[in-house]
Chain A
Amino acid sequence: MSTETDAIQGPATAAWLKMEHRKGLRLLRAGGRWGIGDAAHLDAKLRRLEISTGEAVQIDASDIAVMDTAGAWVLYRAIKGLRAQGLTVEIANATPNVAEMLDEVVRNDNPCEIAPPQGNAVVNMIAQIGESVVDIAAETAQLISFLGSIFVTLARTAAQPRRLRLVPLVHHMQQVGLNALPIVGLISFLIGVVLAYQGASQLQKFGAEVFVVDLIAISILREIGILLTAIVIAGRSGSAFTAQIGSMKVNEEVDAMRTLGLDPMEVLVVPRVLALVFTLPLLAFFSDIIGLFGGALMAWITLDISPGLFLERLHASLGPWTFWVGIIKAPVFAFIIAMLGCFEGFQVVGSSESVGQKTTRAVVESIFLVIVVDAIFSIFFAFIGI
């Protein structure tokens, strides 16, 4: 063995192939390193071989210094092709290494499919549509049952407040509430600035600059403050819930909990849902204030509306419900985001790849549902006239 492997390190003579013509006999002389690096050009050469029927082919392998499986395969497939044409082919003077490689290759001539079967594109598309309809139906049913079990667990916790896990609750309140203040604040401030600036440039045309205050106050308090906060939190905390629960699921931590008699709904879901339901209204309030502040600042700079005038206008423009219409939606949005985040976490199966997929789903679904529910709220408020 050591002699043949030494040759790998030996002088690297490139593989070569020469053809000699003798009467009725084609002699192919092969030599050098028949390795994977030379396999491409050897293969091209062998494919160009044109040998008329009736000739015998002899391959002299004595000069092959070393051969690997790629080199052996290239030679073997050429021999197979020639034999299929009805030619007799023989290999002469094969070294033990060459004979062994050829043997290995012959033993393993087992062609296989490379890619999974594709099927008909139209059929696949229809099947996919059908599959996703069935999936959506099944998931909706599961989501409703998940919603039910959250309520059951919440009711049980209300009956026995001792079962509420206070430390995780506070921990999650810090994570989703306190730690979200900078990002929520920054975005709200910028939106306030943008609204004031855009509103001012339009209202100036009518000489109604001062109504920019009404514009800012009503749009931020009723809609933008809470909606923006909910979307940021869905991206920030809804996704985190899915990823946390999903990776616990992959790690079998959720199963371990069950075998230890812990209810994952009680341990994992209730603290997260309550934390978000408690903190999202506070975040929305914070967002309102910062948004108004940004708007007031911009109104002062571009329109010369002093803070005093801004406050005065603010009082005049706000109805008794303007603020509450926004804040009332917060716990509902919080519940939707937390429920979907936890639900998708439990939907994770198998690999970490699935954690990524479910996290994306949780964010997309919760933003979608938040906006749908916001629209329903708008209709409802219009109906009752506030």
Chain B
Amino acid sequence: MADTSDAIIRVRGLRNQFGSQVIHDGLDLDVNRGEVLGVVGGSGTGKSVLLRTIVGLNRPAAGRIEVFGQDLTSLSEAEREMLEERWGVLFQDGALFSSLSVAQNVEVPLREHSNLPPDLIDEIAALKISMTGLPAEAGPKFPSELSGGMRKRAGLARALALDPEILFLDEPTAGLDPIGAAAFDELIKQLQQALGLTVFMVTHDLDSLHAICDRIAVLAEKRVMVIGTMEEMLQHSHPWIREYFHGPRARAVVGA
């Protein structure tokens, strides 16, 4: 899709540890502009920790993280804030503010980081809600009145509010029924193509990996062990990767 020199996220020598427990050690990862990267790995391999570290929610013990060619650790507060407006994050269950309606949730970043007039903010919020496939009736509802799938869509609308270039997704299809999950995959793919997004997706869902990921990064042994396309994964000889992509659940998806 894009050549390797065009990395929008570049992680070098990342080390994360909690107490004496080392999660990542010498982790390197490149995410190319315009691709959908799926990050997989067994439980406890630090997939979510990696995502949280890149978006700055978790301070690494060592290593460099560059996003848009800028080193995150050396930025001032103001520069960081500018950078944060250029990516959106969707947390597992949407992480919507429960005291605000869906539309008000989408408006939070717009009100905070843009100088748009109020009527335009309302219109853009409605636009994002519609783009994520929510019906207009969902706008004035509170998150507690929505189903899990709708909450994720609302979270996605909020993540897309400032027209980000990178979208971080933490297990976007977890907790959805297969039909809802497939529809959500489809939505991500469609938005990614329409908006030219780069997507960094932590997932366990083989269907998602197969349907929308351009490349897959496998976390194991505290680093990114392999990164490549689905075809390359299928041919890889590492026992865990064989187990993962050739297991009984994978066979139905890949048809192997």
Task: Write the residues of chain A forming the contact surface with B, with a CB cutoff of 8 angstroms.
Answer: 1-2, 4-6, 8-9, 35-37, 39-40, 43-44, 68-70, 73-74, 77, 97, 100-101, 104-105, 107-117, 350-351, 353
Q: Does B207 contact A (CB under 8 A)?
A: no
Minimal Cβ-Cβ distance residue in B for A108: B130
Given contacts A70-B116, A112-B130, 11 further A-B contacts (CB under 8 A): A1-B196, A5-B33, A36-B114, A44-B117, A68-B163, A70-B124, A108-B131, A113-B136, A114-B104, A114-B125, A116-B140
B84 CB, min distance to chain A CBs, angstroms: 14
How far is A43 from B124 in the complex, measured between Cα atoms in Å? 12
Among B115, B136, B137, B196, find the residue whose CB has the most chain A CB atoms closer than 10 A.
B196
Contact A104 B131 (CB under 8 A): yes
Show 26 A/B contacts (Cβ-Cβ < 8 Å), sorted by A. Answer: A1-B1, A4-B196, A8-B165, A37-B114, A39-B120, A40-B117, A43-B116, A43-B117, A43-B120, A44-B117, A68-B195, A69-B131, A70-B163, A73-B123, A74-B120, A97-B196, A101-B194, A105-B127, A108-B127, A110-B130, A111-B136, A113-B136, A113-B140, A114-B104, A115-B101, A351-B98
Q: State how many residues of chain B have any CB contact under 8 Å with chain A.
A: 42
B72 CB, min distance to chain A CBs, angstroms: 17
Among A37, A74, A100, A116, find the residue whose CB has the most chain B CB atoms closer than 10 A.
A116
Contact B98 A112 (CB under 8 A): no
How far is A5 from B86 in the complex, measured between Cα atoms in Å? 13
How far is A104 from B2 in the complex, measured between Cα atoms in Å? 24
Q: Does B103 contact A (CB under 8 A)?
A: yes
**How many residue-residue contacts, CB under 8 A, span A and B?**
112
Interface mask (B213-244 → A, CB under 8 Å = 1, otherwise 0) = 00000000000000000000000000000000
Interface SS of chain A: helix, strand, loop or mixed? Answer: helix
Contact A115 B140 (CB under 8 A): yes
Chain B residue contacts of A350, Cβ below 8 A = 144
CB-contact partner of A110 in B98, B129, B165, under 8 A: B129
Chain B residue contacts of A112, Cβ below 8 A = 103, 125-126, 129-130, 136-140
How far is A4 from B136 in the complex, measured between Cα atoms in Å? 31
Contact B163 A116 (CB under 8 A): no
Chain A residue contacts of B186, Cβ below 8 A = none
Interface mask (B159-197 → A, CB under 8 Å = 1, otherwise 0) = 010110100000000000000000000000000011110
Chain B residue contacts of A35, Cβ below 8 A = 163
Q: Does B30 contact A (CB under 8 A)?
A: no
Minimal Cβ-Cβ distance residue in A for B98: A353
Interface mask (B97-127 → A, CB under 8 Å = 1, otherwise 0) = 0100101100100000011110010111111
B78 CB, min distance to chain A CBs, angstroms: 15
With A43-B117, A351-B98 already in contact, the answer to whether A115 and B194 are too (CB < 8 A) is: no
Q: Does B6 contact A (CB under 8 A)?
A: yes
How far is A69 from B129 in the complex, measured between Cα atoms in Å? 13
How far is A111 from B130 in the complex, measured between Cα atoms in Å? 8
Q: Does B91 contact A (CB under 8 A)?
A: no
With A36-B162, A40-B120, A353-B98 already in contact, the answer to whether A113 and B139 are too (CB < 8 A) is: yes
Minimal Cβ-Cβ distance residue in A for B191: A104
